[in-house]
């Protein structure tokens, strides 16, 4: 690291994936490294002003190898090149991220390769970057958290031995613009991710009914963009809080006493804010590795497999979390 160091991070991914950058962004800010970020349109409102120097929303498509899209990547690189970054950190698996780093031409272009897991892609990545770090093509048997994996990209910019922070009080300021008073509300995230993880609507509705009997009224959070997609899940439910934007949704999660949600952006927001949560993951042989990689980073959490026992176990964990918070 030198006094002229600056970084551009490229993360063209969903909300939860993008939030895994939080410890690295915090460390770079604390080290005085000016840092910009290229992110996907869906994550444009994720980080607050001051979390980084500038955020750029990608104007090119992801996973599009057409000539037109390559030209769009080159044009985007032309806009960024005058910033004279010392480092570009490619924190995405999308080929567009690697093409962008190469087009900018920064001296230090660092990203991931998958070795024999994806040999042809690894050779291609090495041709575009100045330095590569190995990460497994699938779930890593060593079970590092995604925050730890991404943090390694910035090692050359940070002090030797630097570690990703799990201090929620420091991390939450990256996505929350002001302190908010906590409430005693338990919240349930309503999302299509429940069904995508193989968890039937009836099980989620049944859990909600029993949770209301055990702990009282449950706040219901849902993305307005999924209103049609989750109509079966939300049918007949009163008092749903539909969120049109990320900041208001993040603020609601920040004030919740406990959040219950499937493995989705909601639990990763809670993990950075420090909001206690009960997180449900897809059932299967990869469950242990999935929760090791994607558990809420800096929050008290119960991480459960979404098998037939999850509703009862989630109720028990919810009550335990509330009891520990109030003791």
What span, in angstroms and rounded, lies between the C-alpha atoms of 69 and 62? 9
Q: Is the pTM of this model over 0.85?
A: yes
- The answer to whether residues 70 and 218 belong to one domain is no
Residue 320: CA atoms inside 13 Å, Cβ hemisphere, count? 11
- The answer to whether residues 101 and 158 belong to one domain is yes
- The answer to whether residues 43 and 72 belong to one domain is yes
> Domain for residue 173, yes or no?
no
> Domain for residue 85, yes or no?
yes
State pLDDT tens for residues 289-307.
Answer: 999 999 999 999 999 999 9
Query: Looking at residues 64-71, what average pLDDT do you find?
Result: 95
- pLDDT for 138 equals 79
What span, in angstroms and rounded, lies between the C-alpha atoms of 202 and 181? 34
Token representation of residue 48: 């607050």
**What band does 141 get if pLDDT is binned at 50, 70 and 90?**
confident
Q: Outline where the chain has alpha helix (H).
A: 15-19, 22-30, 67-80, 95-104, 119-128, 146-151, 168-171, 193-196, 201-215, 231-234, 246-255, 265-273, 287-294, 310-326
For residue 79, give the CATH number of its domain.
3.40.50.2000
> Domain for residue 178, yes or no?
no
- The answer to whether residues 22 and 66 belong to one domain is yes
Domain count, the chain: 2
- pLDDT for 176 equals 97
- The answer to whether residues 128 and 275 belong to one domain is no
- The answer to whether residues 88 and 157 belong to one domain is yes
- pLDDT for 139 equals 74
Share of the chain above pLDDT 90, in %: 91
Structural domain of residue 76, as residue ranges?
A: 7-165
Q: What is the mean pLDDT of the chain?
A: 95
- List phi, psi (to 5°) of 63: 50, 45
- The answer to whether residues 134 and 191 belong to one domain is no
**What band does 182 get if pLDDT is binned at 50, 70 and 90?**
confident
Beta-carbon contacts of 251 under 8 Å, excluding residues fewer than 6 positions away, are 176, 180
- The answer to whether residues 90 and 150 belong to one domain is yes
> Domain for residue 233, yes or no?
yes
Query: Looking at residues 45-57, what average pLDDT do you find?
Result: 95
> Domain for residue 39, yes or no?
yes
Which of 134, 165, 196 is at the close of a domain? 165
**What band does 1 get if pLDDT is binned at 50, 70 and 90?**
low
- The answer to whether residues 161 and 193 belong to one domain is no
Pick the more confident residue, 143 or 26.
26
State pLDDT tens for residues 247-277.
Answer: 999 999 999 999 999 999 999 999 999 999 9
- The answer to whether residues 83 and 116 belong to one domain is yes
> Domain for residue 177, yes or no?
no
State pLDDT tens for residues 189-225.
Answer: 999 999 999 999 999 999 999 999 999 999 999 999 9
> Domain for residue 255, yes or no?
yes
Q: Which string of DSSP letters, residue by residue, matches 86-98?
A: SEEEE--SSHHHH
> Domain for residue 199, yes or no?
yes
- pLDDT for 94 equals 93
- pLDDT for 3 equals 62
State pLDDT tens for residues 220-240.
Answer: 999 999 999 999 999 999 999
- pLDDT for 293 equals 93
- The answer to whether residues 12 and 158 belong to one domain is yes
What span, in angstroms and rounded, lies between the C-alpha atoms of 9 and 55? 10
State pLDDT tens for residues 73-119.
Answer: 999 999 999 999 999 999 999 999 999 999 999 999 999 999 888 99
- pLDDT for 312 equals 97
- The answer to whether residues 127 and 275 belong to one domain is no
For residue 209, the tally of other CB atoms under 10 A from its CB is 12
């Amino acid at each position: 690291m030198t006094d002229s160091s600056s970084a551009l991070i490229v993360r063209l991914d969903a909300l939860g994936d993008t939030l895994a950058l939080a410890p690295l962004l915090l460390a770079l800010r604390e080290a005085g490294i000016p840092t910009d970020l290229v992110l996907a349109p869906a994550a444009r409102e994720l980080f607050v002003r001051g979390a980084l120097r500038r955020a750029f929303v990608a104007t090119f498509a992801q996973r599009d190898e057409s000539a037109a899209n390559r030209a769009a990547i080159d044009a985007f690189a032309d806009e960024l090149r005058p910033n004279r970054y010392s480092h570009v950190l490619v924190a995405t698996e999308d080929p567009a991220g690697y093409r962008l780093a190469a087009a900018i031409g920064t001296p230090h272009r660092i990203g991931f390769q998958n070795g024999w897991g994806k040999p042809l892609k690894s050779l291609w990545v090495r041709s575009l970057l100045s330095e590569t770090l190995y990460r497994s093509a699938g779930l890593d048997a060593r079970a590092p958290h995604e925050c730890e994996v991404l943090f390694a990209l910035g090692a050359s910019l940070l002090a030797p031995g630097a570690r990703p922070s799990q201090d929620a009080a420091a991390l939450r300021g990256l996505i929350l613009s002001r302190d908010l008073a906590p409430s005693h509300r338990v919240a349930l995230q309503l999302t299509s991710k429940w069904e995508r993880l193989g968890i039937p609507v009836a099980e989620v509705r049944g859990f909600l009914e029993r949770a209301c009997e055990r702990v009282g009224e449950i706040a219901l959070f849902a993305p307005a963009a999924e209103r049609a997609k989750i109509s079966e899940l939300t049918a007949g439910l009163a008092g749903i809080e539909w969120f049109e934007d990320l900041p208001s949704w993040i603020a609601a999660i920040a004030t919740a006493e406990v959040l219950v949600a499937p493995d989705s952006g909601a639990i990763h927001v809670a993990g950075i804010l420090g909001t206690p949560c009960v997180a449900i993951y897809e059932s299967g042989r990869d469950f242990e590795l999935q929760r090791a990689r994607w558990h809420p980073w800096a929050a008290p959490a119960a991480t459960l497999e979404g098998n037939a026992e999850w509703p009862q176990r989630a109720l028990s964990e919810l009550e335990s979390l509330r009891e520990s918070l109030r003791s």
